[in-house]
């Protein structure tokens, strides 16, 4: 099975995600409209600015379809701001900040600091063989996880040691860092495996 995986193309490293998905054995496509979302077996929500992305999703009439698709079991990988958008609860957000939801986690927005405090480090991640070079850019971290959420990675050193930076709940995955940066497609390959093993049908508007 070669799954069709969309990349929400409102902000962020869309091209890099498309390339990583192709290297991981998926058929990638961009998603800006509902009919494009309907054509996907799964979705990647890239980084960007979470409040801007949720506003753009509303402008493109995608917010409710995204929520419905996640609720119906569409596999989704959220990276950086994508993690914030998948979280059920957000700390340090703007007043009234909305999310797509689906992940039973509490995320602290911009937890690692401003752009100038961006950093890179090596991580061990469940399901990924060998160390992973992770790039954090104005990244969130996970403060709390629900009972059904698996922690996939934590920061291993420095002042943020022990902070949760990758999680999975069923067919939803999220990372604080940017796995599309640097040409390493192993996180995307892990997600493709999740998509292949997910029960279907998933999209309520096309099945």
For the chain, domain boundaries = 4-197
Q: In 45-76, which positions are buried (b, 16+ CB within 10 angstroms) versus exposed (e)?
A: bbbbbbbebbebbeebebbebbbbbbeebbbb
pLDDT score recorded for residue 16: 96
Fold classification of 4-197 is Rossmann fold (3.40.50)
Distance in angstroms (rounded) separating the CA atoms of residues 98 and 25: 33
What sign does the dihedral 77-78-83-89 (CA atoms) show?
negative
Distance CA 122, CA 115 (A): 19
Give one DSSP letter per residue of 156-194, joined into a string: -SSTTTT-EEEEEETTEEEESS-TTTTS--HHHHHHHHH
Q: CB of 156 within 8 A of CB of 124? A: yes
Give the whole-angstrom CA distance, residue 4 versus residue 41: 5
Q: Give catalytic residues, as residue numbers.
A: 80, 178, 180
pLDDT tens digit string along 145-182?
A: 999 999 999 998 877 889 999 999 999 999 999 999 98
Which residues on adjacent β-strands are paired with residue 122? 133
> Given pLDDT bands bounded at 50, 70 and 90, which one contains residue 29?
very high
Contacts of 59 (CB under 8 A, 6+ apart): none
DSSP state, residue 149? P
Give the tens place of pLDDT for each residue, 115-124. 546 789 999 9
The H-or-E segment that residue 96 falls in is none
- State pLDDT tens for residues 42-88: 999 999 889 999 999 999 999 999 999 999 999 999 999 999 999 99
């Amino acid at each position: 099975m070669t799954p069709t995986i969309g990349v929400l193309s409102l902000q962020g490293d869309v091209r890099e995600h498309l390339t990583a998905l192709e290297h991981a054995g998926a058929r990638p496509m961009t998603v800006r409209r509902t009919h494009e979302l309907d054509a996907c077996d799964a979705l990647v929500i890239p980084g960007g600015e979470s409040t801007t992305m949720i506003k753009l999703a509303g402008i493109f009439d995608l917010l409710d379809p995204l929520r419905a698709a996640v609720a119906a079991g569409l596999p989704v990988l959220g990276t950086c701001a994508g993690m914030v958008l998948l979280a059920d609860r957000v700390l340090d957000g703007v007043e009234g900040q909305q999310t797509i939801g689906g992940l039973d986690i509490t995320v602290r927005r911009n937890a690692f600091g401003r752009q100038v405090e961006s950093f890179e480090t090596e991580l061990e991640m469940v399901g990924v063989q060998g160390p992973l070079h992770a790039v954090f850019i104005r990244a969130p971290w996970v403060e709390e996880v629900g009972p059904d959420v698996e922690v996939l990675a934590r920061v291993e050193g420095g002042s943020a040691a022990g902070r949760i930076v990758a999680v999975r709940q069923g067919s939803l995955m999220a990372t604080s860092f940017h796995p599309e940066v640097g040409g390493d497609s192993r996180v995307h390959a892990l997600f493709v495996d999740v998509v292949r093993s997910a029960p279907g049908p998933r999209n309520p508007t096309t099945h």
